[in-house]
Chain A
Amino acid sequence: MSRDAIVLLGVNHKTTPLAVREKLALSAGYDEPLQALGQLDELREYYLLSTCNRVEVLFTCRDVEQAQQRVLDVMFGRAITASELEQYVYRHVNVDAVEHLFLVAASLDSMIVGEAQILGQLKEAYRHATKVGSSGFILNKLLHKSFSVAKRVRTETRIGAHAVSISYAAVELARKIFGELAGKKVLLVGAGEMAELAAEHLVRQGVAEVVVANRTLQRAVNLARCYNGRAVSLEELLDQLQQVDIIISSTGASGLILQKEDVRPVMRDRRNRPLFFIDIAVPRDLDPAINDLDNVFLYDIDDLHNVVEMNKSERDKEAVKAQRIIDEEKLKFGKWLANMESTPTIVQLRAMVEQQVRSEVEKTMGRFDTMDEQQRQGLEKMVAAITGKVVFPALHYLKTDRHCTGLPERIKAIRELYLLDTSSGEREE
């Protein structure tokens, strides 16, 4: 009897070009694909993660080869050809799968190492899996473990302590300027993807309001709705500057939309409350000389890139530390997994019962090694027989397949019942 195998199949930004990833991405949410996986008899437990950089399926099964094939067909088969599958999809089994999951959770496998979003996405994915009841005994344990590993990496290394992406760098700068971001107002000028990302980070930091200014008002209205903000037209830009604190500009305009001389009078009206301009448009939207004004700070996309680069080398050092933590946790989980096979449990249970019978016999009859050969053999036989009889119901329980309780649960029950995982197993009579 052996336990189920843990298998992880997936594609990520490292193995697969964006064009292919787009085809595989689960744009319609988790429910449908999870249901499709539920149709497969081969899978015991399964869980699904989809982000913009990766799609991964994690499952436990008996027959690895067969289950893999079925999952690939269901998940990816329709979108890409078999040869592409072969080329792009990575497969990890058992300990490798565990390690990969830990790496992902700890954000070491991310495009931007150390970013914190991935853990949230992982938890979200897990929530979906628990909702349909597709994760069971092993995956629950594994995923919870991966959360705590991620947390450990975060607290014990400084990998997450640095600005890790453009938008994070912007948020960190804003914090250094304004202190608390709660109550601050953000103005998005133009509505690009980067601007949205930065705005999202800022909203998560608790900014009070998001104002969107765009050339086409309809687009501004749509985007503003996402953040419960309001939309204004581009002509109102200067008026808005008096009220907002952070401006993220990303229009497609070919020239500058804001000059130093436009901003100077605004500062007087603002009574010099600081303004933070983030210019992520290429070509630039904002006059670089704006940065020369007192209490006004301007960062363009290159400046932000420099902030990110500066943190990179230090982060790589921390990644080594993080890898060590993951190796440690992988070993621990491996041990736990090994206990989930029935053989070690049976061996351990037998050894424990035999030890106790033997010690009771020795209490009454004297020590075995002082006896003569014939008597000792007789008693040994008796010990073995009693052990066998005592252990039998437990073994029977372990070995009989039941519908309602799977092997892992049965093993767990036995281990708990006989206190096999506590050092004081001898307490039991």
Chain B
Amino acid sequence: MEKKRPQLSLEELHQLKWLLGGVLVLLSVWTVFYLEIEAWTLMGLTTVAVMAALIRPALPARLPPWTHRLVFPAVVMFFIGDLWLNTQVLPAIVRLDILLLLYRGVSYRQKRDDLQVIILGLFLIVVAGVLTVSLAFAAQILVFTACALAFLLVINLVESADAGRPKDGAPPRVPAWTHLGWRRLWARLREVADWRVLVLGGVLFVGVVGVSALLFLAIPRFQLENSLFLERFAAKKARTGFNDNIKFGDVTEIQQDTSVALSVDVTDRSQIPAAPYWRMLVLDEYRAGSFRLSPLLRYREFSRGERVGDTIRGTARSPRGEPVYWTFYFESGVSRYLPLLGPFAQVRFRETQNYRVATNLGVVALREEPAAMTAYRVEGMDASDRLPDANFALRLLKLPGTDPQSTTLKMLGLGVNAADQATLAGMVREITGGVALPVAEFSRRTEAWLARRHRYSLNPNVPGGAGDPLVRWMASGEAGHCELFAGSFVLLARTAGLSARVVTGFRGGTWNGYSNNFTIRNSDAHAWCEVFDAASAAWLRTDPTPGADAGPGEQAKGEATLARRLDRSWAARWDSLRVFWYRRIVNFDQRSQVETLKAVKEATEKSGQQLRVKLSEMVERLKAWLASPWTAERVAKILGSVVALAGLIWAWREFGRGWWRQLRRNAPSGDPVRLQAGRWLRELTVLTGASESAQASARSWVVGPETARVIDDLQRLRFGARATWPEPEAVFRRARVAVRAERRRGRVTAS
């Protein structure tokens, strides 16, 4: 009987096909989770139905036959209705896709239907991938690729196994394989699993991914998302805490979320400030317990019209020397206001953006909340705590015939009644002692005053009562969060006649030791203040929240900051993967393409050169060795070494190998002699096609008398009693000769 590897039966292949198809459906449908498309019900329904069909494959047979006839018209009606009601084409197509996948996932599939599952799934994955460019997508497409490859293989196996079977009428309503259990399939898969198939599959998978990577490196870059205008299907809605109008508690709410909001690369680490404040939004108007961007300021700063492009020129000047680049990877769902450390010389986006710039405020706003991660590179960014604003100074001075203090109040708003104003004035007197202080001194004293009266807490308690809530809080000794401290500071500063405003964004962050970048999480959200210093015509940053002020340990810049903020946790490992994805894949533009190719070229040249040097060194050493005088002692040494080596080889072959086999005869993997005999036997029977059980005389007609004898001896080594074994080494040597002879014979016969 010819040796045959164990194989899955047709029924088992069908079962495996069903499983892989179901997994593909689920994988692709779950990608819609990342999109802002109303398909939750459909997704949930598909998940439940397909999982049920996976667990109990006989279930689809219970669907009455007429349902299959109704499916096509029903799907068409659904699509038309969806399009009519929602008018958006892409969401309707996505829902249609899910619906078709649902049907394919719960009905028995022919080959054509299986291919349809792959195409439908691929559509969903690609749409989600283009829209989100998230790391989850990368993982998903990898799993999808592996599954789809396996699925295609199984489809082909099913088809080839099915080809030999007679077709007798229509297929049965309940396929025969549905009664086979999953545990059984698992056991069978383990039985038939062959490391060669697994290695081959792995190589195929790596090959597909590798070719895709090469294509990715080589193809011209283009921006698919902009061409398709898909931004509106944003993955998540932006957070209210970073909106134009925030209520107290909004920023604190963000702090509960520890997900990454921003990752930052910097080319010169020495530029990293001791306490980085990532500014996003300036809020100037106080009204009824909340700060907002006043309509006046919005009009003045943002009314210059929307611009389209990939570069923004800023007011700061690039310092001399090597330019410092900060690359920001800003996650979706945070805000449309871009985090920045301060004024900048230039911001360059990965792709063209619609944006507005408030130069005086140092704020950049995109038109839409980004649907996917937005990358931008900032050059010449000033990370200091002052923001020059000459225009504001001019405006203050130019208001004719008005009291500067009331102008400030009018412009920026105090929004509290007379009683509250009196309370505030009392507080300011307490702080300043009734003396007009310079801005820096006022800030220091106010911060100290607030810290004396209030503790920091994420769960503040604003006492009830009449009047302004913030004033009530200030009057109490209750604990508070950053927004309350910042808001109080602004009201006190304004009462003291200074111009002050609230700034929201992030403070601090951690240095990821694996990917060497700054990671800022949503939990780093913060609110602080800026006070206008007329003397230097600049806004000075001040952070009244206790514990937030840069203490003595936080003064150091650069590497010292990094060492203090170093994060080597498991979360950092995961984040480093995300940064790698952004740096190398998502942010891979034409410039990166050229850089990568250059780097590859340089690395190849360098290693080639190193190899050449090493080789020539070796040749030189050999020449020197040959040229050195050949004394009797030297010759004797060489001869001695050769003889010793030959002796060692001989001893190993004569005794060592036998001793080693003796030692291993009861090994769990089996007696090495039996295993080796089995391998030779397989090779010879495959080569000769000789029946193993045929008698030697009969077999010799097919394979020649010596090969027949070798097969006999190998069989004895493999299956015979140890006491009756011929000398294994001699048999294996003869087997080697026989294999060569049979190969030659095979070639001659073939030619």
Whether A and B are associated in the same complex: the answer reads no
